[in-house]
Amino acid sequence: MAASPTTRSSSRPNSLLTAGVSTLYGVGPDAEKALEHLGIRTVEDLLWHLPLRYEDFSKIRPLRSLVADQKQTAIAKLGRITQRRTARGQVLTEAELLEEDGRPSMVRASWFGRSFVKQSFPEGQVVRLSGDVRWLGRGLVFSQPKIEPADREAVHTGRIVPVYRLTEGLKDGHLRRWLHTAVEGARGRHGKAVAAPLVPHVPDPLPEGVLARQGLPTIVEALTQVHFPDDPMALFRARRRLAFDELLTLQLATAQRRARWAAEAQAIPLAVDDASLEAWVGELPFSLTGAQRRSLGQIRADLAKSVPMSRLLEGDVGAGKTVIAALAMRIAEASAAQSAFMAPTELLAEQHLATLQALFSGGGPRIAKLTSSVTGAERARILDELATGAAGAVVGTHALLEEGVRFRRLALAVIDEQHRFGVAQRSALREKGVYPHVLLTTATPIPQTLWQTLHRDLDVSILDEMPAGRQEITTEVRTPDALPRIWPWARTRVERGEQAFVVCPRIDPADDPGGAPAGALFDAKESGFDPSAVAMHDELRKGPLQGVRLGLVHGRMPQKERDAVMTRLRDREIDVLVATTVIEVGIDIPNATVVVVLGAERFGLAQLHQLRGRVGRGTMRSYCVLVSPKRDSDRLAAMTERIEDGGRERPLNGFELAKRDLAIRGPGQFLGQEQSGFADQLRVVDLMDIDPRLLDDASAEADRIVAADPELERAEHRGLRAAVDELWRRYGYA
């Protein structure tokens, strides 16, 4: 992984830091190649290869005080050292250990495959040993301990020892020694300095005022202590400093982008009077929830400004995001402006079109549809209507981003399921208008601190209430041996005229189980239960669901073919759809009452919640059956857990499940590939347990710096500007 952008860049690079890693004392050609596999090419890269974890070997005990089954450090004099080959052909080195004063002990040390010990450490030498101690026979033995002379500086033993990410051909002892040389210099056997420390040449990107206000150590001290800490408190202070740098860089980047957007952009103010808005709300066939009214008020206030809105609308499955987007589009139409609604698939675009047309039946913009299937004369007509303003709104897919699509007065862009679109795609739609307002929506609830960290340039509105009448879905966990009872039950539901989903974690039996959804918690081959969509479709068709109209959909099918299958399901030409997670975000099937998720423990909680949301959209009682050999999984237990809320019990909602999913899977897997770029870059900050105080401190400093120096042009901000620039370059964000 590349080094953190937070501090490693400088507008005035130091030649000692940018020199190849081979210039470092002890790094030869083979080591240079191995380090390159880790992305380490320069001395600076090496310094930013931070430890994964630490082993505390700082407490030194006499041999007589050692205990079994613990990691410990001792100082001992080497007694007799022997070597022999085991029955498996390995070299076994064994050393008798004496107390420092030469008295015998009941402790010895042993190493497999490390013949260098006998050559490098003569009998009678006093050494430090750190490692696991266990009983063997009648005495204690240090098993595979780290060893170094007691009169030499502690690197591998007798201290808090860093543990680094390695690659093939690279040993932890070598990497630790090279880093120690870079951080603290190196001395030869007779104590003569052979290499000077290089950390002091690292420029500190933080101005002195920030360091003083936040009580932070310098970057030199932080890097020194994060690699080779003197004590736990020094390590804590060092990691806090580097975490602050990471958060500050992210906060500066997003605050700077937002400041530029606000200063340069002139959006079309979109406004409506209270009476008209209340009349529109009164025309709806349902009442808005309190959360919907709150979110609508926030969006309405944003739209009325000349600063373009950048707002994310988060809401659980069925929370009513589309109606809020529709009202925003109607505000745009009342202001003689156009709006665009972009969905990730053609089928979803058609569903949103039908929903919007129903919501606008009493008034609202004239809506066009533009997808890849719209061609020829019809496409030309729609493009003309958008260019002339005859169409006040358009619903479409990626086709809206094509070069020939032009608008007369695009003022609002709504992007549904925004995590399915990359940043470049969202920017491309934004560029179709003159600084249009942007409303992003997602049914994947994301914890607030995560968004505050990664996307501070977005405001967030949350729909945390469900509309009245939204029924609860009965959720149960079953083991695979229950399937012979589940399939006849599902057939009974279908015979009543209902529809069902069967979800599998893999597409084809030939697929490697390792390619299953991120977050798999068991070995499919060991469990003997490894369902795939293709095999399950065939098995059900020939067996327990023979005669039932089955369909199959998965990610390797072309989008048009997938949409055709989903259309048949919508039109009730398919009774049971066997699928992978491509239905995680899909069209509404009010007649679907059953979803059976096979290999459920191989999905994230957010995915399971979304899959469960495929049913329960009509008036009939609905069921979600999670089938897994891991019935005791904490993840699956969360899907059936109930908590007390206002005097009644309810299941965990999407936001509560999202927090648990983030803790289990980590931010990269939780957010998905498109959203996890910033998260993947963080080396110190723990996004699953962000310190709110540190985040607030970094945010306050970012606001202070951007307010005084928006473009980070002052000399004291040179390092911060380099860090921010590198962050944008790395991910191509504009």
- Residue in 714, 706, 705, 723 with CA at minimum distance from that of residue 10: 723
| Cα dihedral 446/727/432/414 (nearest 10) | 0
pLDDT tens per residue, range 434-447: 789 999 888 776 66
Cα distance between residue 268 and residue 604, in whole Å: 41
Q: Is the dihedral of CA 235, 241, 244, 249 positive or negative?
A: negative
pLDDT at 388 over 90: yes
pLDDT of residue 559: 79
Residue 733 lies in a domain: no
Residue 186 lies in a domain: yes
pLDDT of residue 606: 77
pLDDT of residue 686: 63
Whether residue 638 sits in one domain with residue 490: yes
329-333, 335-339, 450-454, 499-503: the lowest-pLDDT one: 450-454
Whether residue 320 sits in one domain with residue 366: yes
> How large a percentage of the chain has pLDDT more than 90?
50
pLDDT of residue 676: 43
Residue 731 lies in a domain: no
332-346, 521-535, 648-662: the lowest-pLDDT one: 521-535
Whole-number mean pLDDT of the chain? 85
Does the pTM surpass 0.75? The reply is no
pLDDT of residue 582: 82
Cα distance between residue 660 and residue 323, in whole Å: 29
Whether residue 383 sits in one domain with residue 244: no
Residue 679 lies in a domain: no
252-263: average pLDDT: 80
Whether residue 499 sits in one domain with residue 483: yes
Cα distance between residue 440 and residue 419, in whole Å: 9
State the Cα angle at 191 between 190 and 193, rounded to 5°: 120
Buried b (16+ CB within 10 A) or exposed e, 28-60: eeebbebbeebebbbbbbbbbbbbeebbebbeb
Whether residue 134 sits in one domain with residue 85: yes
Please list, in sequence order, all residues whose beta carbon lies within 8 angstroms of the beta carbon of residue 300, skipping any fewer than 6 positions away: 272, 277, 328, 331
Residue where a domain stops, chosen among 94, 127, 158: 158
Whether residue 495 sits in one domain with residue 401: no
Residue where a domain stops, chosen among 428, 463, 498: 463
Residue where a domain stops, chosen among 463, 490, 517: 463
Cα distance between residue 478 and residue 482, in whole Å: 6
Residue 89 lies in a domain: yes
495-512: average pLDDT: 85
* pLDDT band of 1, cuts 50, 70, 90: very low
Residue 658 lies in a domain: no
Please indicate whether residue 530 or residue 693 has the higher confidence score (pLDDT). Answer: 693
* pLDDT band of 694, cuts 50, 70, 90: confident
DSSP letters, 216-253, are PPPHHHHHHHHHS-SSHHHHHHHHHHHHHHHHHHHHHH
Whether residue 482 sits in one domain with residue 613: yes
pLDDT at 177 over 70: yes
Cα distance between residue 649 and residue 410, in whole Å: 46
Q: What are phi and psi of 621, to 5 degrees?
A: -65, 135
pLDDT at 520 over 90: no
pLDDT of residue 657: 79
Whether residue 521 sits in one domain with residue 583: yes
Residue 734 lies in a domain: no
DSSP letters, 100-131, are TTS-EEEEEEEEES-THHHHHS-TT-EEEEEE
Cα distance between residue 23 and residue 26, in whole Å: 9
Q: Which domain holds residue 219?
A: 207-264+691-718
Residue 187 lies in a domain: yes
Cα distance between residue 149 and residue 242, in whole Å: 33
* CATH classification of the domain holding 69: 2.40.50.140
pLDDT of residue 413: 92
Q: How many domains does the chain have?
A: 5
pLDDT at 675 over 50: no
**Three-class SS string for 530-579?**
CCEHHHHHHHHHHCCCCCCCEEEECCCCCHHHHHHHHHHHHCCCCCEEEE
Whether residue 384 sits in one domain with residue 360: yes
Phi-psi sector, 464: left (phi>0), alpha (psi -120 to 50), beta: alpha
Please list, in sequence order, all residues whose beta carbon lies within 8 angstroms of the beta carbon of residue 728, skipping any fewer than 6 positions away: 253, 734
pLDDT of residue 301: 97
* CATH classification of the domain holding 611: 3.40.50.300
Whether residue 432 sits in one domain with residue 315: yes
Whether residue 551 sits in one domain with residue 503: yes
Whether residue 257 sits in one domain with residue 386: no
* pLDDT band of 510, cuts 50, 70, 90: low
Q: Are strands 126-136 and 160-163 parallel, antiparallel or unpaired?
A: unpaired
pLDDT of residue 525: 40
